[in-house]
Amino acid sequence: MFEVARDILKLAQDDFDNINLEKLTDIEGVGLAKACQIMAAIEFSKRFLVKEGIKVKNIDDVVKLVEELRAKKQKYFLSLTLDGASYLIQKRIVFIGTLNHSIVHPREVFADAISDRAAGIIFVHNHPSGNIDPSKEDMAPQ
């Protein structure tokens, strides 16, 4: 049992990015079912645990990150938290409003940035009407 684990660990250390079913099943003691489980765990880690390294350099990068807002029929308010090198830490929906109204409290807006220990934060909201001009509510001091 420990030999199998040692061989899998060696394969991962030597060539993690190229692990596949064939290489895993070549290890004595690893059948197809176990190799599939290992591959699933590796894929899970790549998708959910390894940061994708999305750098936000300009407004175009922000627009790409929130493109799904164009099709929304309600107001959405999002926060994008960034590290010191402007890499995305997390994109979050802070609030979902109605067709034309949204109330957002600073406590909710900044709580995630503080917990992320973010160096920067970008706020984004949509206009379901499709009019990209700031509304009078957008411009009014709070």
Tokens 């402007």 -> residue = 86
Supply 100's token pair.
């034309």
Domain boundaries, the chain: 2-49, 59-139
pLDDT band at 80 (very low <50, low <70, confident <90, very high): very high
The whole-angstrom separation of Cα 21 and Cα 8 is: 12
Per-residue pLDDT, 36: 93
Contact at 8 Å (CB) between 24 and 38? yes
Which is more confident, 52 or 12? 12
Say whether pLDDT at 50 is over 70.
Answer: no
pLDDT tens digits, residue range 10-44? 998 888 878 999 999 999 999 999 999 999 988 88
Pick the closest to residue 91 from 121, 49, 70, 119 (CA basis): 121
Class (C level, CATH) for 59-139: alpha beta
Per-residue pLDDT, 136: 78
Mean per-residue pLDDT of the chain: 87
**pTM score over 0.75:** no
Per-residue pLDDT, 118: 94
